[in-house]
Homo-oligomer: A and B are copies of this chain.
Amino acid sequence: MTPRQNRTRDRAERGIPEATVARLPVYLRALHTLQERGVATVSSEELAAAAGVNSAKLRKDLSHLGSYGTRGVGYEVEYLVYQISRELGLTQDWVVAIIGVGNLGRALAGYGGFASRGFRVAGLLDADEALVGQEISGMAVEHIDRLEEIISGRRVSIAVIATPAGAAQKVCDRVVAAGVTSVLNFAPVVLSVPDGVDVRKVDLSIELQILAFHEQRKAGGPDGYAPPASGEDPPGAAQYVEAVEA
């Protein structure tokens, strides 16, 4: 994605691989668990096991942040928690707005994982007049007409889109226009955004379909499944649509 800037500084300090960034939160969670148990020091082997990764990978990931381990001993849990938190930007607070207060939006509003990691939900917005004013998880739902005002007024930097698919792109355009540069999208659509805006997608249906693919493989026998005749002309090409439509 950003290949050119990787040679400006040489490792640590700049250019942490995307794959590493994606694992840091996992390490962080494992470290928090260790911390609760009162563990002061952990080896790469132990932490890797807790995080479900290879220990060499863990060490390489951590080496991108600097040399925070002690050879022969391991890593100091507390210090590592701090370093990873800082690298991820969790030592500062991030203001989040949730747009769309359906079932999913409600679940997100009540999700404990927000507050505990420096994410503060500062707004719940919906287009449904009947919802506006209702209180969800101790916060009143506001009308989406006030989106721009809320986003800039409360310095929202991350927007969580939990609207129906049809509304998502329009909402996205508006939050971006209002200054948001990070979007977490739960709507089942591909959002298009200008350069400089990050979008991450969470899509239940896609995850299930990936599982179904592997499940189908497994069902075909342990040694190898051949997908149903993939070079043939299926008889009756017209009616196969029904099989997958709602």
Most buried by B among A8, A113, A237: A113
Is A133 positioned at the interface, with any CB of B under 8 Å from its CB?
no
| Cβ–Cβ < 8 Å partners of A5 in chain B | 224
Interface membership of chain A positions 37-64, coded 1 if the CB is closer than 8 angstroms to chain B and 0 otherwise: 0000000000000111000000000000
Residues of chain B within 8 A (CB-CB) of A202 are 202, 204, 207
Query: Could you tell me the distance in whole angstroms from the C-beta of A139 to the nearest C-beta in chain B?
Result: 14
Q: Min CB distance, A108 to chain B, in Å?
A: 7
Q: Using an 8 Å CB-CB cutoff, how does the interface string of A1-40 with B read, 1 for contact, 0 for none?
A: 0000100110011100000011011101110100100000
- Chain B residue with minimal CB distance to A234? B82
Bound form: Cα–Cα A47–B30 in Å? 41
Q: Does A178 contact B (CB under 8 A)?
A: no
Question: Which residues of chain B are within 8 angstroms of A78 by Cβ–Cβ distance?
Answer: 237-238, 240-241
Q: In the complex, what distance in Å separates the CA atom of A25 from the CA atom of B207?
A: 9
- Say whether A91 faces chain B, with CB atoms less than 8 Å apart: yes
Q: Which residue of B lies closest to A90 (CB)?
A: B244
Residue of B nearest to A232 (CB): B66
Q: A35-B241, A115-B246, A209-B90 are in contact. Are A215 and B192 (CB under 8 A)?
A: no
Cα distance A156–B241 in the bound complex, in angstroms: 25
Report B-chain residues with C-beta under 8 Å of the C-beta of A170: none
Q: Closest residue to A106 on the B side, CB-wise?
A: B103
List B contacts of A89 (CB < 8 A): 212-213, 215-216
> Which residues does A use to contact B, with CB under 8 Å?
5, 8-9, 12-14, 21-22, 24-26, 28-30, 32, 35, 50-52, 65-66, 78-79, 81-83, 85-92, 94, 96, 102-104, 106-108, 110-111, 113-119, 157-158, 181-184, 188-190, 192, 196, 198, 200, 202-216, 218, 224, 226-228, 230-231, 234, 237-238, 240-241, 243-246
Having A22-B206, A82-B241, A116-B245, one finds 7 other A-B pairs with CB under 8 Å, namely: A13-B227, A25-B205, A25-B209, A88-B216, A96-B208, A200-B211, A202-B202
